[in-house]
Amino acid sequence: MLSGFQAKFVLLALFSFFYCRDRSASQDPIASRPDPSSPSQPSSSFKTSGKKYSRQHDFLVHGTVFNERALSFPGVELKIRRLGEKKFRWDTFTNSRGEFAVRVPLGAEYEIVVRTKGFAAQIRAVNAKDTGNEEVLVFRMTPQKEGKQ
């Protein structure tokens, strides 16, 4: 005869065996899964415009912002606009390591404005027409002089 603990153990083992066997039988076999190389059809609730966006026509502007002591500067605001436009189209902030990255369309010139409270704003021009597909920038912020806004 089995003790109480042994009986519970045997029941648990049998339950686990039958439960796992039933669950594995209900799963789809590997052969019936869709082939990842074949084009998948979108579900009826998801509508596509017919065009697939490709990042190959983007220009990557990335870099690092440092403070006056050459330490990384988190939380600095960066705004980007096309050269000659008044409205900024892209904006971001540096991460905890002072780094930033923004993708913009190829084929234009851009102006980047970097600013934060208590420091002088810096402006740089970036040519995204024929210089490749990325630009690495480094900014070193300088404290704003007293009395100047």
pLDDT, one tens digit per residue, over 115-144 is 999 999 999 999 998 768 899 999 999 999
Average confidence score pLDDT of the chain: 79
Q: How far is the C-alpha of 48 from the C-alpha of 83, rounded, in Å?
A: 33
For strand 99-105 and strand 134-140, is the pairing parallel, antiparallel, or unpaired?
A: unpaired
DSSP state, 6? H
124: exposed, middle or buried (Cβ count in 10 Å: 0-12, 13-18, 19+): middle
pTM, rounded to two decimals: 0.61
Domain assignment present for 105:
yes
Domain assignment present for 44:
no
What pLDDT, on the 0 to 100 scale, is given for residue 57? 77
What pLDDT, on the 0 to 100 scale, is given for residue 130? 77
pLDDT, one tens digit per residue, over 42-74 is 444 444 455 666 667 789 999 999 999 999 999
Residue with tokens 């490749």: 132
Residues comprising the chain, all counted: 149
- Count of domains observed in the chain: 1
Domain assignment present for 124:
yes
Domain assignment present for 63:
yes
3-state secondary structure 15-39: HHHHHHHHHHHHCCCHHHCCCCCCC
Query: Band of the pLDDT at 38, cuts 50, 70, 90?
Result: very low
